[in-house]
Structure 1
């Protein structure tokens, strides 16, 4: 019964955020209409520079609308943790939205959409933040390497709404906790991360985590990664992860081999080979899928807008490991307002 009340409370919070955002936008539109009616025609001639700005108006308007909505929602949520009479500290909110079309030889109608909203709560000295996301944990400063969709890390429904609290954070270590809802199930998670560097060329990341779901039970994951900085613009990366849970038998694993190359300040590429499977389960050891891909990523039109083209080859157990070619086309936007 307690779980049911928590689910209803979380849904109420999300609906309230959306309602307040729409209400605020509507009020702004009404004020703008009033100002247009009162404003008198200007006798000064029109400036010709307006025509040069119209080319970027549509994209900048989209960015400002989303950024303002995210910011208003962040301010509303953060106000619950402070006295109304006290001085309001402006929160920091960031959002990432991605749309993609991934046609394959056996499925031409596969579409992918991802979003991530992160709100830092300043009244907790930026140690606590609200995260709404439907993708795996990715650092804000890092490019997610799993371009082609892989098996979900925790459950089939990956959407999560969680409060994140940073227990300890240093330049080479991190301990944080999360509590929230993922796939309709309440969960709690503890994660620890350590970074080791050698000779400014070699880097190692060790990241163990433990999580508990009310329905699925206890689970754990270990993520290991090695980076070799070949030169200023290229890097080799190898990572390996294993995870187990009471919700399924066996241990699921995933390897990744990548070559990252920065072509120029606005363009980069990632060549990758991913292998994932399971061991010690009902069917013993097996490889679920191989994926070979080349991702070309570039920034265009606006500094917050990115495009990706990723041709790939896939060998899946479900398709008897026959070669399945495909291509992923994506557009990704980053929105923030401090």
Structure 2
């Protein structure tokens, strides 16, 4: 009996030692990424110091890194790595921020809650670097401007966001934006959103967006229907149905794809580490709307300092 107790105690010691090593490794990773982004932000912000006697202020940095594997019945090899870094520059009273990402600027084709988006032919992967200026920011409105480069193309964009509370349980969002790319020309997008609060932890949401551009004929449109549920403090889920297509183009009105999905998101191991599991069904036009099952597995890390 004593031998078994000693063996169990030794196993517990070994497990505690392994846990401490894991803790040290994960904490070291978080600090290394946070410090690296922060130091780069300080270096960039120092260019705006008027003179040597002026004291440099501390910037605020936020970084998000995502690893995703999106196997489908016809393609099991799709792996996506994403990063997004945002730096608020204190010498501009935090109205100006630097946004660095390996995605096209704001993913113009996507809805706010869209996540699977396995149709890479619609929006190819791009690199984006931009200065973002916020003229006005309140709880119910936002007005900002962005100037940068995306996929080797220089662009400028203006976006206005306004939210209206219709009742204690209902709200409506209007978000028009106007953008211009040197290579692609002038474009515009309108996003509409309706939210209905079913309970304290449950919400129904409808998104609708239309987008036109000199780059393509017709108008791109997309609908999104979502049921959001907060399971507990660290876990949430989203049931989604998305429909996208175009109208007034060369082919008239057409539906490109239907996507039905269930997204399960939880926080584990560290407060800055999140995991997602999202099984989905696609019905793409180019496959004659044949059912295409798939699943998205994601890991996201958030790094903040300032």
How high is the TM-score relative to the length of structure 2?
0.89
Does structure 2 retain, via aligned residues, the 8 Å contact 1:223–1:239? yes
Structure 2 CA distance, aligned partners of 1:239 and 1:298?
A: 24
Q: Structure 1: 5+ residue runs without aligned partners?
A: 1-49
Q: Name the counterpart of 2:186.
A: 218
Change (3 A) 1:67 1:327: same
Q: Name the counterpart of 1:322.
A: 290
Structure 2 CA distance, aligned partners of 1:87 and 1:239?
A: 46
Structure 2 CA distance, aligned partners of 1:170 and 1:181?
A: 27
**What's the C-alpha RMSD, in Å, of the aligned pairs?**
1.9
Which whole-Å deviations, capped at 9, do the CAs of 1:287-323 have from their partners, x for residues lacking one? 0000000011000000000000100000001111100
Query: 1:163, CA displacement in angstroms?
Result: 0.2
How high is the TM-score relative to the length of structure 1?
0.81
Query: 1:201, CA displacement in angstroms?
Result: 0.6
Query: 1:157, CA displacement in angstroms?
Result: 3.9
Higher helix share: 1
Question: Which residues of 2 match residues 127-206 of structure 1 at below 5 A?
Answer: 127-135=95-103, 137=106, 144-149=112-117, 156-206=124-174
Matched, 1:64 2:31: yes
Give secondary structure in 2 for the equivalent of 1:297: strand
Query: 1:198, CA displacement in angstroms?
Result: 2.5
Does structure 2 retain, via aligned residues, the 8 Å contact 1:155–1:183? no
Give secondary structure in 2 for the equivalent of 1:107: coil
Structure 2 CA distance, aligned partners of 1:144 and 1:309?
A: 18
Q: Name the counterpart of 1:313.
A: 281
Matched, 1:208 2:176: yes
Does structure 1 retain, via aligned residues, the 8 Å contact 2:30–2:303? yes
Query: 1:54, CA displacement in angstroms?
Result: 2.7
Does structure 1 retain, via aligned residues, the 8 Å contact 2:130–2:146? yes
Q: Which one of the candidate residues 263, 273, 285 is aligned to 2:253?
A: 285
Which whole-Å deviations, capped at 9, do the CAs of 1:169-213 have from their partners, x for residues lacking one? 222111100000011100000001101113221111100000001
Higher strand share: 2
Query: 1:145, CA displacement in angstroms?
Result: 1.5
How many residues in Structure 1 have an aligned counterpart in Structure 2? 285
Q: Name the counterpart of 1:263.
A: 231
Query: 1:259, CA displacement in angstroms?
Result: 0.4
Structure 2 CA distance, aligned partners of 1:173 and 1:113?
A: 32
Give secondary structure in 1 for the equivalent of 2:29: helix
Which whole-Å deviations, capped at 9, do the CAs of 1:219-264 have from their partners, x for residues lacking one? 0000000001111111000000000000110000000000000000
Q: Structure 2: 5+ residue runs without aligned partners?
A: 1-15
Following superposition, which runs of at least 4 residues in structure 1 exceed 6 angstroms of deviation?
A: none
Structure 2 CA distance, aligned partners of 1:152 and 1:311?
A: 18
